[in-house]
Amino acid sequence: MSRHRVLQAGRLMPELEASLAEQFDCHALWNEKDPRRFLAEQGAGFQALVTTSKNGADAALMDAMPNLKAITHFGVGYDTVDAAAAAKRGIALSNTPDVLNDCVADVAMGLLIDAARGLSASDRFVRRGDWLKGQFPLTTRVSGKKLGIAGLGRIGQAIAKRAQGFDMHIRYHSRKPVANVAFTHEPSLAALARWCDFLVVIVSGGPATRHLVSAEVIEALGPQGYLVNVSRGSVVDEAALVDALVHRRIAGAGLDVFEDEPRVPQALLALDNVVLLPHLASGTRETRKAMADLVLANLHSWFDHGRLVTPVPAAPPA
Ligand code: NAP
Ligand code: 8YV
């Protein structure tokens, strides 16, 4: 029996690439010298595409694959896939929700504590030999403080659960209040920023949330406030954030994501009031394996039963 043909848009973790090669007739688009020509000649031969947030899938790619029926996305945030174009063409789309909630929430709390208590900055202080010259400056308490969460979805709720262990007072912002949670919903993100000591951002990416954390929201956080972003770089007005950090109009930040990854604004590199991570929140062996397994499960389910295991919810009509 011939194996199902799958097109791989970009590089994946080696274990997933090996499984795809073993279980499917998988072709690496990223390895093609002239991908456009390859698609023109062979695009019709694929019913399934595997992609990531880095590579995405736009309408032109879908048009170049006239028999495409399913896109399986490695990662929960599928903002670089044109989901509306896929829906219009009847292409099913899956992502990898839930399996990464814990690891992303762990990193959000890690960034929050690091930004407030200066763990990375004081590590640099020790390594530079500065401890021999004097004490590290006092930092900011975390336990018992006010936490604002922008986006109380799957990961936002895992963050709230952890923050409760730190006796934090929690409120959140989203377009709709979440049923069955004990926290106060705040319809205005600026008002939430004014109220809280720490604002953690974990909304979905895409055009609807572009620069949701605006200059106004950053100013509302104020000189004692900290921003943590583990969602997407596009959600924060990065130029406004850099300016606020450089001029200490907010106390500090912890960032896992940036507007133009892997490029990080030069001005941030010299600052001790910001913790910079290379988009690693889900990056543990255990969680990435679970994400890879879900990609494979979605592909098998699609080819065997014509349905995905974790389809993304249908977008509301425009
Ligand atoms: P989710 O369960 O879908 O939650 C998304 C939350 O964002 C919901 O509370 C939603 O509430 C809110 N939201 C969406 N659009 C909004 C808007 N325009 N204004 C205000 N709130 C809005 O998603 P999740 O699984 O928790 O993941 C969240 C995001 O985290 C992903 O989409 C991804 O971009 C990011 N992520 C990053 C990493 C990393 O490595 N750093 C790892 C995993 C995920 P309403 O719909 O009610 O507004
Ligand atoms: C991954 C992520 O780093 O799931 C997401 O939305 O941002 C991360 O888990 C990324 O998707 C890997 O491509």
Distance CA 264, CA 202 (A): 19
Residue ranges covered by each domain of the chain: 5-97+286-305, 101-276
CATH class of this structure's domain 101-276: alpha beta
Atom of ligand 1 nearest to the CA of 230: 41
Distance CA 172, CA 155 (A): 13
Backbone φ, ψ for residue 273 (5° rounding):
-95, 15
User: Which residue's CA is the nearest one to ligand 1's atom 2?
Assistant: 153
Tell me if residue 232 is catalytic.
yes
Write down the pTM of the prediction.
Answer: 0.98
Q: How many helices (H) and strands (E) does the chain have?
A: 12, 12
Is the CB of residue 154 below 6 angstroms from any atom belonging to ligand 1? Answer: yes
Topology of the domain comprising 5-97+286-305: Rossmann fold (3.40.50)
Atom of ligand 1 nearest to the CA of 280: 40
pLDDT at 315: 73
Distance CA 215, CA 204 (A): 19
Query: Binning pLDDT at 50, 70 and 90, where does residue 1 land?
Result: low
48-105 pLDDT per residue, tens: 999 999 999 999 999 999 999 999 999 999 999 999 999 999 999 999 999 999 999 9
Candidate from 76, 159, 178, 310 with most ligand 1 atoms within 8 A of CB, to mutate: 76
| Two domains, one topology: 5-97+286-305 and 101-276 | yes
User: How many whole angstroms from 74 Cα to the centroid of ligand 2?
Assistant: 7
pLDDT at 4: 96
